[in-house]
Chains A and B, each alone.
Chain A
Amino acid sequence: MAEQLLKVRGLKIEGRSDETWNQIVNGVDFELKKGEVIGLIGESGAGKSTVGLAAMGFTRDGCRISAGEVEFDGINLVNASAKVKRELLGKRIAYVAQSAAASFNPAHRLIDQHTEAPVQHGVMSKAESEADGMELYRKLRLPDPENIGFRYPHQVSGGQLQRAMTAMAMSTRPDLIIFDEPTTALDVTTQIEVLASIREIVEEFDTAAIYITHDLAVVAQMADKIKVLLKGDEVEEADTRTMLSDPKEDYTKSLWAVRSFQRPQKPYVQTGQTPVVSVSNVTAAYGKVPVLHDVSFDIHAGRTVAVVGESGSGKSTTARCITGLLPPKQGHIEFDGEALPLDYRKRNKMQLRQAQMIYQMADTALNPRKTIGELIGRPVQFYMGLTGKEKRKRVDSLLEEIELEPSVYYNRLPSELSGGQKQRIGIARALAAEPKFIICDEVTSALDQLVAEGILKLLAKLQDELGLSYMFITHDLATVKSIADEVVVMKDGRVVEQGPKDDMFKPPHHPYTDLLLSSVPEMDPDWLTNLLKERGVDNIGDAAVGKM
């Protein structure tokens, strides 16, 4: 048996809030052999990233390792000096961050950042490292590997940056890499390429890795063994196949079972019915850059239309056109059969009231200085003209509607709420205008799966009670499956396919829909390998398939 490279024993980490230290990781143990990959999985707040960083002997400001050992190749990183750690970091232990776009320094070229660690640690000369970088870029199938390094981070796409960051982590051929949610910010189709690249290069250089993610299906493709964390506690650890086929703990089982929520397909809309919202032949542009081309679809009363597509496909722009924030260049938008003025400034209060919006980041969509009562009370007063006691009554009933106790939450500030609760406030604020139609822009993508499911259930309940119509913007096909009645697939500002949900998930598909659907990771650990084989050696490369 190969020797253990990393031993983490009884690791406890404390975080400081309000001048006191609270334990946030309550004793985690694991071991890693050379070339082995462990997946750390859990919801946000589970302490995955904290544990991942602690495995490098690093804690963020306001955190400290309070007990336990992190032994890397015989060196205890917990009490090692800063100098000893600096010798190891970037040389023998490397890190790949969640958002490559934020983790590359905007002021320097990719290759200069790539060569920094090898040169500073004296592993290679600058010229050697540059040549090696290009070789790694080629291995990771970045386009134009000789020149892409001479670009600045903002000149390269997100998926490419994530691969460049993996290349950077490989620059000194470390023994251990920590991957911290490296594909979470990417579209499904891009995610596959990055996953395949990471897996291939980790195998080629026999690098050990800690792979942190909240996505079970992803970790199933990447890890040899999986450890489940919950609020800083270990839940269980097992090798990947055992974990997937036979989870022991209830919490793990609930994670596996999430996404079971699914609404039945409603009967098809009868022809001749006037849609609540009708988008016809809309073409729009930001300045001179065209973003939407001839987009048309209808949304009927009490229905949910999911608009899916990758980032940049024009989903949110379509929403901006409907709300009048971005007046379309051509085409028109009808509400209940009546044409709406294209610019929101020309719409009357009634027209504005009828269409409301819920945003992706509840954090930034709520004014942090207003209490919940003020946040919801404002549209109640503005649109419905209620004041005083009546207003309070209405806000209370809205809070009850979103399943938050009015007496508890009325005077709270957004910062005192959890992510899911904030999103509920966003929903209540939209409901306050008593609209017929709500645009939900990626409302669940910033939330954990269990919380997201709660939000989806709430939206479904409200739809049944109030007969609301939703336009549901998302890139997540699982969400589409659970809530949509009709689906509109967008790509590059065009609608490529639309129809009832059941039809969309059954072949034959438009080739792009097919690509989207087949790119959603599945729980099967062989899924990625099989998919890559299926898609053929051409776009993945012989070496990759051979290795996998």
Chain B
Amino acid sequence: MASILRIIAQRLALGIVTLFVVSIVIFAAVNLLPGDFAQLILGQGATPEAVEAIRQDLGLDQPPITRYFQWLAGAVQGDLGNSFAQANFASFAGTDVGTGQGSVAAQIAPRFENTMFLAGVTAVIAVPISITLGVLAALYRNSAFDRTANILTLSSISSPEFFLAYILILFLAVLNPILPSLSNIYDGMELSDRFIKTLLPALTLTLVVTAHMMRMTRAAIINLLASPYIEMARLKGISPMRVIVKHALPNALAPIINVIALNLAYLITGVVVVEVVFVYPGIGQLFVDSVKIRDIPVVQACCLIFAAAYILLNLTADILSIISNPRLRHPK
């Protein structure tokens, strides 16, 4: 057990180092974006003085290295800075620092919560379905069921997300009005209400992520079916279903967990299109909007959250894979 704790500590430390490196990359990349906020907000007729004033106000006149360390110092303390877009420029008298609406945290928090809710609902639907389908496909490998499942999941992953979304809207909202096609969720909604409004985007995303997880489950299990202990289980007269679930699946967990983690990370970071189609107020939309208006603090914060999500999920996957290996769980 001590060795597992040590491995976890090591991975965690490595994750923090990775995050630090990523923060440099993010900062550099965001600063390479053409144009700047002051220019954009004041339009073409802006006087150079006005532009300069806003730049000064926001600290954009400082050299990049200084800005990076200011940002990093703030981020480490949990202060992600203030959104440019929410700042009050009317008086040029400085922003209402760190309070209320203006802070990046206040902008991102509700959006991030929504994104996590959508990802959570999708995961709860998609992961069990994928694993069950994968197990069944492995059990009835090369049968009609296996082929159909493969073709369907592959076509759904190959189709553009907006297309899948419109198909679902067509069948579940327009032709059979079961679910609402707009996911305009807001604070203080009933949970059940919120769940129903989230269902269509969640189903769309399920169609997108199922194929990977199902195919990996199937492949990982089939990969083990030639092993001597599977033959042994068969020779003990164990039913085919039990052979797969009890004997193959526990040994196939590591690759499956890793693919699940990658897909969950995708659900947090890559669902802009689906959010747009269903008007779902998630972090992806906020991110794209912020890029459009060069709201640099929000863009950086979003990138950092995305990176952290990837790192954290992969870390969790690593740890779970290690724990799924009895050799590490029960050393000699």
Instruction: Enumerate chain A interface residues (CB-CB to B < 8 A).
Output: 53, 56, 58, 60-61, 85-91, 94-95, 97, 99, 102-108, 116-117, 120-121, 151-152, 154-155
Given A152-B330, A154-B332, A155-B332: A105 in contact with B251 (beta carbons within 8 A): yes
- Verify A95–B238 contact, CB threshold 8 A: no
**Distance in Å: Cβ of B135 to nearest Cβ of chain A:** 15
Instruction: Give the distance to chain B from A267, nearest Cβ to Cβ, in Å.
Output: 47
List the B residue with the shortest CB-CB distance to A156. Answer: B332
- A155–B332 Cα distance when bound, in Å, is 5
**A120 and B238: CB pair below 8 A?**
yes
Tell which of A56, A105, A116, A151 has the most Cβ of chain B within 10 Å: A105
Q: Is the CB of B247 within 8 A of A88?
A: no
Does B326 count as interface, using CB distance less than 8 angstroms?
yes
* Minimal Cβ-Cβ distance residue in B for A99: B228
CB contacts under 8 Å to A, within B303-331, are: 326-327, 330
Q: Does B239 contact A (CB under 8 A)?
A: yes
Docked complex Cα distance between A107 and B247 (Å): 8
Residues of A within 8 A of B247 (CB): 105, 107
Q: Shortest CB–CB separation between residue A511 and chain B, in angstroms?
A: 28
Given A95-B232, A99-B228, A154-B332, A107 and B326 contact (CB-CB distance below 8 Å):
yes
Chain B residues whose CB sits within 8 angstroms of the CB of A90 once the complex forms: 235-238
Given contacts A89-B235, A89-B236, A105-B251, 11 further A-B contacts (CB under 8 A): A87-B237, A90-B238, A94-B236, A95-B236, A97-B231, A103-B231, A105-B229, A105-B233, A106-B251, A152-B327, A154-B327
- Check B250 for interface membership: any CB of A closer than 8 A: yes
> Which residues does chain B contribute within 8 Å of A58, judged by CB atoms?
234-235
Do A88 and B237 have beta carbons less than 8 Å apart? yes
Does B226 contact A106, Cβ atoms closer than 8 Å?
A: no
- Is the Cβ of B232 less than 8 Å from the Cβ of A85? no
State in angstroms the CA–CA spacing of A99 and B234 once bound together: 16
Q: Which residues in B have their C-beta under 8 angstroms from that of A154?
A: 326-327, 330, 332
Closest 8 CB pairs of A and B: A90-B236, A89-B237, A90-B237, A107-B250, A102-B228, A95-B235, A86-B237, A105-B229
Complex contact B235–A102 (CB within 8 A): no
B232 touches A97 (CB 8 A): yes
Query: Is the pair A106, B229 in contact by a Cβ cutoff of 8 Å?
Result: yes
5 A–B contacts from the bound complex (CB under 8 Å):
A104-B229, A104-B232, A106-B326, A151-B330, A152-B327
Interface band, chain B: 20 to 34
Chain B residues with CB under 8 A of A104 = 229, 232
Main secondary structure of the interface of B (DSSP, over half): helix
A106 CB contacts on chain B under 8 angstroms: 229, 251, 326-327
Chain B positions 211 through 237: 1 when the CB is less than 8 Å from some CB of chain A, otherwise 0: 000000000000000111101111111
Chain A residues with CB under 8 Å of B234's CB are 58, 89
C-alpha spacing A29/B284, complex, angstroms: 72
Set of chain A residues within 8 Å of B239, measured between Cβ atoms: 86, 120
Q: Are B232 and A116 in contact (CB under 8 A)?
A: no
Rounded to whole angstroms, the CA-CA distance of A540 and B170 in the bound complex is 77
The reply to whether A103 and B229 form a contact with Cβ atoms under 8 Å apart is yes
Q: Known: A152-B330, A154-B332. Is A117-B229 also a contact (CB below 8 A)?
A: no
Nearest residue in A to B326 (C-beta to C-beta)?
A152
Q: What's the Cα separation between A118 and B330 when bound, in Å?
A: 26
Contact between A85 and B237 (Cβ–Cβ < 8 Å)?
Answer: yes
Question: How far apart sit A515 and B330, CA to CA, in the bound complex (Å)?
Answer: 33
Q: Does B242 contact A (CB under 8 A)?
A: yes
**Complex Cα distance A108/B324, Å?**
11
B→A interface (CB under 8 Å): 226-229, 231-239, 242, 246-247, 250-251, 326-327, 330, 332
User: Does B237 lie within 8 Å of A107, measured CB to CB?
Assistant: no
With most chain B CB atoms within 10 A of its CB, the pick from A91, A121, A152 is: A152
Contacts of A103 in B (CB 8 A): 228-229, 231-232
- Distance to closest chain B CB from A294 (angstroms): 26
Q: Name A120's contact: one of B227, B242, B330, B332 (CB within 8 Å).
A: B242
A289 to chain B, nearest CB (A): 11
Residues of chain B with a CB closer than 8 A to A105's CB: 229, 232-233, 247, 250-251
| A-side contacts of B251, CB under 8 Å | 105-107
Are B237's CB and A102's CB within 8 A? Answer: no
Q: Which residues from B are CB-within-8-Å of A56?
A: 235
Chain B residue with the shortest CB-CB distance to A117: B236
Q: In whole angstroms, what is the CA distance A152 to B329 when docked?
A: 10
A135 to B268, CA, bound (A): 55
Complex formed: what's the CA distance from A357 to B39 in Å?
72
A450 to B250, CA, bound (A): 42
Enumerate chain B residues within 8 angstroms of A53, measured Cβ to Cβ.
235
Bound Cα distance A58, B250 (Å):
25
Closest A residue to B236 using CB positions: A90
- B232–A117 CB distance below 8 A: no
With A88-B237, A91-B237, A95-B235 as contacts: A102 and B227 at CB distance below 8 Å: yes
Tell me how far the C-beta of A50 lies from the nearest C-beta in chain B, rounded to whole angstroms.
13
How many angstroms from the CA of A121 to the CA of B238 in the assembled complex?
9
- CB neighbours (8 Å) of A61 from chain B are 226
Task: Tell me the complex Cα distance, A283–B268, Å.
Answer: 54
CB-nearest residue of chain B relative to A178?
A: B235
A117 contacts B330, C-beta separation under 8 Å: no
Instruction: Report how far A103 CA is from B234 CA in the complex, Å.
Output: 11
CB pair B236 A116 closer than 8 Å: yes
Q: Are A121 and B237 in contact (CB under 8 A)?
A: yes
Q: How far in angstroms is the closest Cβ of chain A from B120?
A: 29
**Least distance between A91 CB and chain B CB atoms (Å):** 6
Nearest CB on A from B259, distance (A): 19
Q: Nearest Cβ in chain B — how far from A527, in angstroms?
A: 30
A341 vs B242: C-alpha distance in the bound complex, in angstroms? 56
Residue of B nearest to A165 (CB): B232
Complex Cα spacing A88 to B237, Å: 7
Give the shortest distance, in Å, between B86 (CB) and chain A (any CB). Answer: 53
Report the Cα distance A151→B236, complex, angstroms: 20
Chain B min CB distance to A124 (Å): 14
A102 to B250, CA, bound (A): 15
Docked Cα-Cα span, A91 to B227, in Å, equals 22
A155 touches B229 (CB 8 A): no
A207 to chain B, nearest CB (A): 16
Q: How far is the CA of A151 from the CA of B332 in the complex (A)?
A: 9
Query: Chain B residue with minimal CB distance to A91?
Result: B237
- Per the bound structure, the CA–CA distance linking A106 and B326 in Å amounts to 7
Q: How many Å lie between the Cα of A85 and that of B232 in the bound state?
A: 14
List residues of chain A with CB within 8 A of the CB of B229.
102-106
A366 to chain B, nearest CB (A): 22
Which residues of A sit under 8 angstroms from B233, Cβ to Cβ?
Answer: 105, 116
| A120-B243 Cα distance, complex, nearest whole Å | 12
Q: Are B250 and A108 in contact (CB under 8 A)?
A: yes
A204 to chain B, nearest CB (A): 22
Bound complex: CA of A53 vs CA of B232, how far in Å? 11
Residues of A within 8 A of B327 (CB): 106, 152, 154
Residues of B within 8 A of A85 (CB): 237
Measured CB to CB, the closest approach of chain B to A101, in angstroms, equals: 9
